[in-house]
C-alpha cells in the first residue's frame, strides 16, 4: 500500500513538472514565430496610410468608477482616429460616476450616456451599448483604462482587410507598479498573457479576448446573439460564441491600453476566481464543440484548458500528500519536486519564457526587462494562488443551482 502511494506521488510530481515545461516550449515556439512573421515588421506600418473610413463606437461599461472614469474618457478623446463616438454605460452606480460622465457629455458632442437604474451586469450593459451604437466597429474598454492614441487605428485595419474578422483583442499593460504583487502582474501580463495570445493566434484559436480592450464587428456580435447575461466572464464566452460561428479572432499587439490590476491578495483572489469560474462555465456550456468536426481547431484549446485544471488538482493533491507525510513518516514521501533535473529544467524554461516575452515587448516598453527579477515570486506566491482558484472554481460551477433568470451582476471594484 505504501509503495503504491509513493509511486502515485512520483507520477503526480512528474506530471506537475512536465506539463508546464511542455506547454512553455510550445508557447515559446509559436510566439517567436508570431513575432517574426506578424509583429516585428508591423511596428513600421503607419496605421493611417490607408483610408480608414470605418466608424468606431467606443463602449465603456462602468459601475462605481468615479476615480477613473473621467481620465478614461478623456484618453479616448485624445485618439487620432478620425471617426468615432463614445457611449458610457453607467450600470446603476451609487457614487457620482453618472454625474461625471453626464458633465462630459454636455462638454463633448462625441459622448453619449446610458444610465441603468438597476444593476444588470456588464453583459447587459454591453448589449445595450451595441444596440445603441451608430457605427459598425465596437471598441470596448474598461472604465479604468487609458487608451493609447493610435490603438483604435491599429485595430480597425484588421476589420478593413479581413471581412471575416469578428474581433480584435488588444494589448493591455499594467498601470500601477508600486507593490510586489503589482510588479509580478507586470511580468505576468507580458510573459504569460501576451505570450499565450501570440501562440494561440498562430495555433488557430484564441481562448479569450481581453476584457480590458477589444474591438468587435457589430454584425458578428449580433450574429451570435450578443453577450450572455448569465455568464460571469463576458469576454471568454463571447470569444467562443464567435469562433464557433467561424468568425476570426485576431491579436493586435500595438493596440495598447493601460489598465489597473489588483493591489492586494484578497482582490487578486476575487479577480482570478472569477476568471477561473468563467473558464469552467465556458467548458461546460460549449461541450458541443466536440460534436461538430468543423470545430476541430477548437479541440486543442479545450484540451489545454481542461488539462490546466487537472494540473491544478494534481499540484494541490501532491502538496497534500507531502504535508500528510510529515505526520505519517511511514509513507516515506518527501517534498522533493523542486530539486533534481525536473526542477532545474522547469526553472530554465521559466527564465527562457520570461526573457523571450520581455524581448518581444521591448517594442512597447524598453525598460520591461527590469521586472525579470520579480518572476522569482511568481512560482513562490502567485502560482499557488492561481492554482487554488482553479480548484475552487470547478466544483463551484459544477454543483451550483441552475437558475434560468440568473444575471451575473458586478459589485463595486476596490482599487488603490
pLDDT on residue 6 = 64
Q: Are residues 89 and 208 in the same domain?
A: yes
The tens digit of pLDDT for each residue in 88-141 reads 998 888 888 888 888 888 888 889 999 888 887 888 889 989 999 999 999 999
Does a structural domain hold residue 336?
yes
CA distance 1 to 264: 43
**Same domain for 169 and 227?**
yes
pLDDT beyond 60 at 352: yes
Comparing 104 with 372, the larger pLDDT belongs to: 104
Given pLDDT bands bounded at 50, 70 and 90, which one contains residue 329?
A: low
- For residue 39, is it within any domain? no
Per the structure, the complete domain to which residue 345 belongs is given by 2-28+297-398
Instruction: Decide: 177 and 368 in contact? Cβ < 8 Å.
Output: no
Predicted local distance difference test score (pLDDT) of residue 59: 94
Let me know if residue 404 belongs to a domain: no
- State the CB neighbour count (10 A cutoff) for residue 323: 11
Q: Torsion angle of alpha carbons 246, 169, 179, 355, nearest 10°? A: 80
101 and 231, same domain (yes or no): yes
What's the mean pLDDT in 370-386? 70
Q: Is residue 41 part of a domain?
A: no
Q: Do 73 and 176 reside in the same domain of the chain? A: yes
Beta bridge partners of 84: 56
Same domain, 24 and 55: no
Please indicate whether residue 278 or residue 381 has the higher confidence score (pLDDT): 278
pLDDT band at 294 (very low <50, low <70, confident <90, very high): confident
What is the structure's pLDDT at 163?
A: 87
74 and 184 part of one domain: yes
Average pLDDT of the chain, as a whole number: 82
Last residue of a domain, one of 233, 261, 289: 261
Residue 412 lies in a domain: no
pLDDT at position 219:
92
Q: Where are the beta strands (DSSP E) in 47-142?
A: 56-62, 84-91, 111-116, 137-141
Which cell goes with 387?
Answer: 492554482
Domain assignment of residue 413, yes or no:
no
Q: Name the pLDDT band for 410 (thresholds 50, 70, 90).
A: low
Average pLDDT of the segment spanning 161-176? 89
Categorize the per-residue pLDDT at 408 as very low, low, confident or very high, splitting at 50, 70 and 90.
low
Name the phi and psi angles at 164, rounded to 5: -100, 10
Residue 411: inside a domain: no
Asked if the model's pLDDT at residue 413 lies above 60, the reply is: no
Do 87 and 188 have their domain in common?
yes
Helical H segments across 328-381, by residue range = 340-360, 376-377
| pLDDT (tens digit per residue) in 29-42 | 988 888 888 887 77
- Quote the number of domains for the chain: 2
| 232-267 exposure pattern, b = at least 16 Cβ within 10 A, e = fewer | bbbbbbbbbbbbbeebbbbbbbbbbbbbbbbbeeeb
Q: Is the pLDDT of residue 339 over 60?
A: no
Q: Give the CATH number of the domain where residue 225 resides.
A: 3.90.550.10
Q: Are residues 99 and 181 in the same domain?
A: yes
Decide: 122 and 90 in contact? Cβ < 8 Å.
Answer: no
pLDDT tens digits for 244-256? Answer: 888 989 998 888 9
pLDDT at 76: 92
Do 22 and 85 fall within a single domain? no
The answer to whether residue 34 sits within a structural domain is no
Q: Are residues 238 and 333 in the same domain?
A: no
What are the φ/ψ torsions at residue 232 (nearest 5 degrees)? -70, -25
Same domain (yes/no): 221, 318: no
Stated pTM of the model: 0.84
Residues 180, 89 share a domain:
yes
Q: How does strand 137-141 pair with strand 146-147?
A: unpaired
Cα separations in angstroms, 81 against 121, 157, 307, 336, 349: 29, 11, 42, 56, 41
Lowest-confidence region among 67-81, 297-311, 321-335 = 321-335
Amino acid at each position: 500500500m505504501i509503495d503504491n502511494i509513493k509511486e502515485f506521488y512520483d507520477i503526480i510530481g512528474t506530471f506537475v513538472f512536465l506539463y508546464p515545461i511542455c506547454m512553455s516550449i510550445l508557447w515559446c515556439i509559436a510566439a517567436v514565430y508570431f513575432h517574426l512573421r506578424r509583429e516585428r515588421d508591423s511596428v513600421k506600418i503607419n496605421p493611417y496610410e490607408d483610408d480608414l473610413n470605418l466608424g468606431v463606437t467606443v463602449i465603456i461599461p462602468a459601475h462605481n468608477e468615479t476615480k477613473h472614469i473621467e481620465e478614461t474618457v478623456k484618453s479616448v478623446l485624445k485618439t487620432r482616429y478620425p471617426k468615432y463616438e463614445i457611449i458610457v454605460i453607467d450600470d446603476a452606480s451609487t457614487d457620482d460616476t453618472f454625474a461625471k460622465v453626464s458633465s462630459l457629455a454636455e462638454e463633448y458632442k462625441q459622448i453619449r450616456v446610458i444610465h441603468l437604474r438597476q444593476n444588470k451586469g456588464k453583459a447587459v450593459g454591453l448589449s445595450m451599448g451595441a444596440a445603441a451604437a451608430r457605427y459598425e466597429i465596437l471598441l470596448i474598454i474598461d472604465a479604468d483604462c487609458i487608451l493609447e492614441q493610435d490603438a483604435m487605428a491599429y485595430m480597425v485595419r484588421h476589420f478593413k482587410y479581413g471581412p471575416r474578422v469578428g474581433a480584435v483583442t488588444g494589448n493591455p499593460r499594467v498601470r500601477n507598479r508600486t507593490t510586489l504583487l503589482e510588479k509580478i502582474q507586470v511580468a505576468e501580463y507580458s510573459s504569460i498573457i501576451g505570450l499565450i495570445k501570440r501562440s494561440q493566434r498562430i495555433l488557430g484559436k484564441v481562448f479569450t479576448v481581453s476584457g480590458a480592450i477589444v474591438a468587435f464587428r457589430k454584425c458578428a456580435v449580433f450574429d451570435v446573439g450578443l453577450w450572455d447575461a448569465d455568464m460571469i466572464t463576458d469576454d471568454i464566452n463571447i470569444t467562443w460564441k464567435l469562433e464557433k460561428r467561424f468568425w476570426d479572432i485576431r491579436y493586435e499587439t500595438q493596440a495598447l491600453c493601460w489598465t489597473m490590476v489588483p493591489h492586494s491578495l484578497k482582490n487578486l483572489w476575487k479577480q482570478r476566481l472569477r476568471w477561473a469560474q468563467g473558464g469552467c462555465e465556458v467548458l461546460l456550456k460549449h461541450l458541443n464543440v466536440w460534436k461538430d468536426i468543423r470545430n476541430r481547431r477548437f479541440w486543442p484549446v479545450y484540451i489545454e484548458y481542461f488539462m490546466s485544471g487537472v494540473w491544478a488538482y494534481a499540484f494541490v493533491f501532491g502538496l497534500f500528500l507531502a504535508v500528510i507525510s510529515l505526520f505519517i513518516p511511514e509513507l516515506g514521501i518527501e517534498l522533493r519536486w523542486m530539486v533534481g533535473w525536473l526542477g532545474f529544467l522547469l526553472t530554465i524554461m521559466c527564465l527562457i519564457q520570461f526573457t523571450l516575452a520581455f524581448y518581444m515587448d521591448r517594442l512597447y516598453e524598453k525598460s520591461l526587462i527590469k521586472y525579470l527579477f520579480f518572476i522569482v515570486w511568481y512560482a513562490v506566491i502567485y502560482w499557488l494562488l492561481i492554482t487554488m482558484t482553479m480548484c475552487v472554481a470547478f466544483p463551484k460551477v459544477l454543483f451550483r443551482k441552475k437558475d434560468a433568470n440568473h444575471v451575473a451582476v458586478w459589485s463595486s471594484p476596490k482599487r488603490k
